[in-house]
Structure 1
């Protein structure tokens, strides 16, 4: 099995990732071509729309049915929302987190595990977390870090019994028996948006 090693470096305030792998080229590599900013802009637009739409919908569900209602919405609808938006924009939208709530958001491979670990370590060291654009043989792959943006998020992702009400802790256990996404604090690194699209779709 191929070994992938990623180390985070800070250069001029930008978080970069250097890694080495076997020569087959099957793992993503940092994109360094002339289109880097254009590709980042495309990924950033999709990540921003996904974040805004998800937060807006969850906020509405919470206002109408409380935290339990928002949890039920996320359990049933969040993946479909990302798929629909991705279809509209011609990309695939996913979230990746080592501390996932839904197992479908877990890192898919060693590359993503180490990428998330590098972001986590960078935050602990007080470094800025910046988006990155990679490429595989067939796709462009954009990662954008996600942090806990506001106190409302802690009602589902904070400390049980303090930020998360006891009844909602029970609801989480029912809906997400493998939940790892609790005990966050405001501003903590949560994971990353992954936006990818086929190279032959790039304009």
Structure 2
């Protein structure tokens, strides 16, 4: 059981979970580069609903590929080997899924483990929006923006108990050996100190509205 817990914990190095509180219905539409916080923003057009589902599919399929490959590495090389694997292969695998979907797929954060995952100004605003809703125990939607035939899709990555094995408090949640290796691989690591049910980052996905994959 302990080994299973460790395996599942490290699995969440590459991203924890999509929140179960995502509603089915109107989304948080973004107009003129600003977050629309009006809960009565209106009913989604059919095309918007399709774009939301497409964004979710891209995020979920990429997460499955990352998770499957990481779990295989854990089975072959152990937990510490999986940390090294994530350091070396998470980006190439994400890029490969971006090619498959003809999309730009990123996982970004206000507290990145890898500095390449630092959220930009706009993404930081959306992270704070998701944080506020989760903190207040509110349901929320993926954020969708469209401009010139392109869609930008944002979906939060929310911590659960398993995530804390790699993103919790060192010594309390994270094994010292894992902490040591993380410090070695990620000297500028900020992705620690989380509690359960907190926004660790977001999926930031861009794709052409006309693509059918």
Q: What range describes the TM-score normalised by the shorter chain of this pair?
A: 0.7 to 0.9
- Pick from 97, 110, 113: which aligns with 2:124? 113
Matched, 1:38 2:62: no
**Aligned equivalents of 1:155 and 1:62: distance in 2?**
14
Distance in 1 (alpha carbons) for counterparts of 2:103 and 2:192: 29
Matched, 1:165 2:151: no
- Given the superposition, is the C-alpha separation of residues 147 and 137 from structure 1 closer, same or farther in structure 2, using an over 3 Å criterion? same
Q: Is the 8 A contact 1:95 1:193 kept in 2?
A: yes
Partners of 2:113 and 2:189 within 8 A in 1:
yes
2:135 equivalent in structure 1: 124
Structure 1 residues 43 and 13 mapped into 2: Cα distance closer, same or farther (>3 Å)? closer
- What is the CA RMSD across the aligned residues, in angstroms? 2.8
Q: How many residues align?
A: 185
CA distance in 2: counterparts of 1:12 and 1:197, whole angstroms: 21
Aligned partner of residue 73 in structure 2, secondary structure:
helix
1:5-51 Cα distance to aligned partner (Å, 9 max, x none): xxxxxx999673667xxxxx6x4777965411010111111111111
Q: 5+ residue gaps in structure 2?
A: 1-22
Gaps of 5+ in 1: 1-10, 20-24
C-alpha separation in 1, matches of 2:188 and 2:27? 31
Match of residue 3 from structure 2: none
TM-score normalized by structure 1?
0.79
Q: Are 1:141 and 2:152 an aligned pair?
A: yes
Q: Which residue of 2 aligns with 1:78?
A: 90
**Aligned in 2, Cα 1:198/1:165: closer, same or farther, shift over 3 Å?**
same
2:145·2:153 contact (CA, 8 Å) conserved in 1?
A: yes
